Amino acid sequence: MWNLVSLALLFLAGAVLYALRNRIGAAFRRFEARNAQRRDDELRALMDRYAHYRHTVQFADEQIEDVSKVTVPDERTGEPVTRYLFLGAYYASQKEAEAARHDLVVEKAREFYVDLDRIYLSRRGRPAPPFAGPLLTDPSKHETYTPPRG
């Protein structure tokens, strides 16, 4: 009896997998396409000397909110008009809002490089720490060695 139930469940699972084969195959194809795109991007980044700048701008772009389309009443007529909202400011056209967003993305990326310069270039200008004397301060642990003459 249990063999019959387990065989029926096995056939049912096979039928479900057969019915979903197109969806499963499409998911695998999308996964493989994303991996191929990632590998192509990595190869292109190896050959491009400005790839670091592009990655920095992409990272800054991910951190800043997108422009949203809103409908608000007009200030003069009260009629509903479409405005574009970015960081609490309304813009009349999407092009203006996207330009403001792009300016902010570039500014944020530049701040990153200014911070890098401040961190790494300031170390070069620092004076060396004063010499505090010999590293071995306990004379009993200091062994002298005289090489043989030869």
pLDDT at position 129: 57
Mean per-residue pLDDT, 59-72: 92
pLDDT at position 117: 84
Percent of the chain with pLDDT over 70: 84
How does residue 140 score in pLDDT terms, banded at 50, 70 and 90?
low
Phi, psi of 10 (to 5 degrees): -65, -45
Percent of the chain with pLDDT over 90: 54
Within 10 Å of residue 63's Cβ, how many Cβ atoms?
9
The helix (H) or strand (E) run that includes residue 24 is: helix 21-47
What does the H/E/C string look like for 74-126?
A: CCCCCCEEEEEEECCEEECCHHHHHHHHHHHHHHHHHHHHHHHHHHHHHHHHC
pLDDT at position 2: 81
Residue 146, pLDDT above cutoff 90: no
pLDDT at position 86: 93
Residue 143, pLDDT above cutoff 70: no
pLDDT at position 134: 55
> d(Cα 130, Cα 17) in Å, to the nearest integer?
73
pLDDT at position 145: 65
pLDDT at position 128: 59
**Residue 72 forms beta bridges with which residues?**
81
> d(Cα 94, Cα 100) in Å, to the nearest integer?
10
Q: What is the pLDDT of residues 71-120, one digit of tens each?
A: 988 888 888 999 999 999 999 999 999 999 999 999 999 999 888 888 88
Helices 21-47, 2-19: crossing angle, 10 deg rounding: 50
pLDDT at position 50: 87
How does residue 48 score in pLDDT terms, banded at 50, 70 and 90?
confident
CA distances, 31 to each of 16, 21, 37, 43, 75 (Å): 22, 15, 10, 19, 49
Structure tokens at 149: 């003459």
Q: Which single residue is written with the structure tokens 């980044």?
A: 45
Q: Is 121 exposed, middle or buried (0-12, 13-18, 19+ CB in 10 A)?
A: exposed
